[in-house]
Structure 1
Amino acid sequence: MIKPKKLRKGDTVAIVSLSSGLAGEKTISWRTEQGIKRLEEVFGLRVKIMPHAFKGIDYIYENPEKRAEDLNAALKDGEVKAIICCIGGNETIRIMPYIDFEALRNYPKIFSGYSDTTANHIMFYNNGISTSYGPALLTDFAENISMDEYTVESIKKTWFSSEAIGEIKPADNIRKFGLRWNEENKDIERPLLSNQGYESINGEGIVQGHLIGGCFEVFNNMRGTELFPEIEAFDDAILFLETSEVHIEPKFFEDYLRAMSVMGIFERINGIIVGRPQDGVYYEEYKDIWKQILKESGCEDIPVLYNMNFGHNEPKFILPYGLKAEVNTKDLTFSILESAVID
């Protein structure tokens, strides 16, 4: 995988809306501005808003080519060192016909987002570029009161340092979901829930492999399209998956996971890490389904760590696509064994 260059204070990051145009809505502008302010004040970065990023929900939906135009321009802009998505959504895959894949390959840059942004990450992955399944502008950077230190430290270790990322410990606490993004709530801190840490739910031992995965629902929806990775991409991989705020019902979760099993994905991978379901919804049900499907697949020996702090969780750590990682179910540890960026 080709790695982007690391960030330094004073560097410029571009803001794009590749999924929902929520960041451009007037009722959300206070939060958009708060996220930008954190990029500037917490990390010492300059922020460049791409031309169509804040044009609102309707415009962004109706003009997928303009979304792609912003991404293409940010990739080719020599001043821009990183690209950060505003938020997820549900149809970023529509921008694919308009992507300048030559620019994508020739100008590797830090690229971050999660949820629907999974589809964008896979566009990069299929072209050999490592990106960050990580924070988005409206969620992590714009957290009420202040950013979570766990997230801040992950950003610094992943984007600002060319040293190996190393062990990623579980967050002590998880933010409660549900506080609406009304401006009158901006000075209300979301409650912190105690986090029990990583849980081993299948297999045992220590395994290593390259990282691939994303949001479970998006990953499922890409099946059968030209965007879904070739089956060989899963050989010796560490698969990472997490579910969204939709809280997919267990019966559908089981069906979709079984489809992945029938594709032969689980037979190829070395290990799995599973993100904590947002707000713990269906926590035990999902866990039981994972164990059931892996048993059906004859993959009861694959080490699986559960309740991980990525994706639809705040705080979160960053998962760089394609990098070598290690799952240790004996000591309940997870490590990324190389740097995500170069000098």
Structure 2
Amino acid sequence: MIKPKKLSTGDTVALVSLSSGLAGGDSIRWRTEQGIKRLEEVFGLKVKVMPHALKGVDYIYEHPEKRAEDLNEALRDPDIKAIICAIGGNETIRIQPYVDFDALKDNPKIFTGYSDTTANHFMFYNNGISTSYGPALLTDFAENIEMDDYTVASIRRTWFESDIIGEIKPSGTIRRFGLKWDIENRDIERESFTNPGYESINGRGIARGHLIGGCFELFGSMRGTGLFPDTAAFDNAILFLETSEVHITPDFFEDYLRALSMMGIFDKVNGIIVGRPQDGVHYEDYKKVWKQILKEAGREDLPVLYNMNFGHNEPKFIVPYGLQAEVDTENLTFRILENAVTD
């Protein structure tokens, strides 16, 4: 995988809205500004808001070509060192016909987001460029009161340092979902609860492989499109999957997971890490489904770590696509065995 250059204090990053246009909404604008301020004050970065990023929900939905135009411009601009997505949504796949893939391939840069942004990540991954399944502006950077130390540490370790990332420990606490992004709530700290840590739910031993994955629901919606990678991409991989705030029912989860099984993906991977379901909804039911489907696939030997802090969880760690990683179900550890950025 091609790795982007690391960030340094004073660098410029771009804000894009490639999915939902929520960041430009009048009632949310305060939170957008708060996230930008954190990028400036916590990390010493300059923020360039791309021309269409804050034009609102309706405009962004109606103009996928303008979303892609912002991405293309950010890729071509030599002063921009990283691209940060405002938030996810549900139809960023519509920008694909308008993306300048030559610019994407010729200008590898840090690119971050999660959820619907999974589709954007695969635009990069399919062209051999490592990106970050990680924080978005409106959620992580704009967290009420202050950013979580765990998230800040992951950002610094992954984007600002070119050393091997190493062990990723579980967060001590997890934020509770549900506090509305109303301006009158801006000074209310979201409740946290103790994180019990990683859990081994299948297989035994140590597995190593390259990281590939994203948001579970997006895996379903990308199947059959040109964005879903050839199944050979999963050979000897560490698959990472997590579910969104939609809280799909265990029955639907079973159907979707079985589809991935029938595609042969679980026959190919060396191990799996699973993100904590947001707020723990269906926590035990999803575990049962994982065990059931892997048993059906004849992969009761496959090492799987559960309750991981990425995706729809705050705080979160960054999962860099394509990097070699290690899952250890005996010691309940997860390691990233490479650096994510270069000097």
The TM-score range, normalised by the shorter chain, is over 0.9
Q: CA deviation at 1:175?
A: 0.1
User: What residue is the counterpart of 2:196 in the other structure?
Assistant: 196
Take 1:77 and 1:196, find their aligned partners in 2: how far apart are those partners?
44
Q: Match for residue 307 of structure 2?
A: 307
Equivalent AA in structure 1 for residue 47 of structure 2: V
* 1:41 aligns to 2:62 (yes or no): no
For residues 279 and 193 of structure 1, what CA distance do their matches in structure 2 show? 10
1:230 shift after superposition: 0.4
1:284 paired to 2:284: yes
Aligned position for 1:207: 207
Matched, 1:27 2:64: no
Secondary structure of 1:272's aligned partner: strand
Question: Partners of 1:341 and 1:119 in 2: how far apart?
Answer: 21
Q: Which residue of 1 aligns with 2:141?
A: 141
Match of 1:230 in 2: 230
Residue 247 of structure 1 aligns to which amino acid in structure 2? H
In the other structure, the counterpart of 1:296 is 296
* 1:58 equivalenced with 2:62 (yes/no): no
State how far apart, in whole Å, the 2-side matches of 1:193 and 1:16 are: 32
Q: How does 1:16-165 map to 2 (within 5 A)?
A: 16-165=16-165
Structure 1 residue ranges (4+ consecutive) displaced by more than 6 angstroms after TM superposition: none
1:223 deviates by 0.6
Give the Cα separation in 2 of the matches to 1:122 and 1:303. 24
The Cα shift of 1:295 comes to 0.3
- Cα distance between partner residues in 2 of 1:207 and 1:162: 24
Match for 2:69: what amino acid? E
| SS of equivalent to 1:112 | strand
**What secondary structure, in the 3-state scheme, does the structure 2 residue paired with 1:26 have?**
coil
Distance in 2 of aligned mates of 1:193 and 1:61:
36
User: What is the CA RMSD across the aligned residues, in angstroms?
Assistant: 0.3
Aligned mates of 1:227, 1:16 — CA distance in 2: 20
Give the structure 2 partner of residue 327 of structure 1: 327
CA–CA distance in structure 2, aligned partners of residues 317 and 194 of structure 1: 17
Q: Deviations over 1:41-63 (max 9, x none)?
A: 00000000000000000000000
- SS class of match (1:27): coil
Match of residue 259 from structure 1: 259
**Structure 1 position 219, deviation (Å):** 1.1
Number of equivalences: 343
In the alignment, the residues of structure 1 paired with residue 77 and residue 193 of structure 2 have an alpha-carbon distance, to the nearest angstrom, of 41
Deviation, structure 1 residue 221: 0.8
For 2:184, the equivalent position in structure 1 comes to 184
The two structures have a TM-score, normalised by structure 1, of 1.00
- Structure-2 residue corresponding to 1:220: 220
Task: Give the deviation of 1:238 after TM superposition.
Answer: 0.1
The residue type paired with residue 117 of structure 1 is: T
- For 1:39, the aligned partner's letter is L
Shift, 1:7, TM fit: 0.1
The equivalent of 2:9 in structure 1 is 9
Residue 94 of structure 1 deviates from its aligned partner by 0.1
In 1, distance between residues paired with 2:62 and 2:291? 41
Q: What secondary structure does 1:218 align onto?
A: helix
- Distance, in Å, in 1 between the alignment partners of 2:27 and 2:302 is 46
Alpha-carbon deviation of 1:220? 1.1
Q: Deviations over 1:312-339 (max 9, x none)?
A: 0000000000000000000000000000
Instruction: Report Cα offsets for 1:162-182 as digits up to 9, x if no partner.
Output: 000000000010000000000
Deviation at 1:226, TM superposition (A): 1.0
What is the alpha-carbon distance in structure 1 between the residues aligned to residue 259 and residue 136 of structure 2? 29
Distance 1:99 1:65 in 2: 8
Structure 2-normalised TM-score? 1.00
Show the counterpart of 2:247: 247
**CA distance in structure 2 between the partners assigned to 1:288 and 1:195 by the alignment:** 20
Instruction: Return the alpha-carbon distance in structure 2 between the equivalents of residues 36 and 313 of structure 1.
Output: 20
- Tell me the amino acid that sits aligned with residue 82 of structure 1: A
